[in-house]
Amino acid sequence: MEIKDNTFSRQFETIVDEGLVSVEYSFQEKKIFLTKINVPESFEDEEFISNFLKNIMEIAIERKFKVVPILPKIVVFFKKNPVYKELLPPGIRL
């Protein structure tokens, strides 16, 4: 999976057959706030979204960012993948 960090649009992007899949973000003090997931209308592959989020977590690890999940779907991702809970800033509980 190839992920582009589109800093101008503030989103991570990847292309699927149906179109563009993206996760919008904002930054504040070495924290990345994941705010929205955008998918094409006909796209329903939850496993792909999970893998996309895992790749974004690896980018956060490389860049030494903490991750703040704003979107409920991303909170569920953290609950299903406790290995990434180390990326949560102090004081964030899920």
Domain locations in the chain? Answer: 4-87
CA distances from 84 to 6, 41, 42, 44 (A): 23, 29, 29, 24
Name the CATH topology of 4-87: Aminopeptidase (3.40.630)
Distance separating alpha carbons of residues 79 and 43, to the nearest angstrom: 23
Distance separating alpha carbons of residues 23 and 5, to the nearest angstrom: 10
Mean pLDDT of the chain: 94
Tell me the per-residue pLDDT of 16-57, one tens digit each, with 9 for 90 and over. Answer: 999 999 999 999 989 999 999 999 998 989 999 999 999 999
pTM, rounded to two decimals: 0.91
Distance separating alpha carbons of residues 85 and 78, to the nearest angstrom: 6
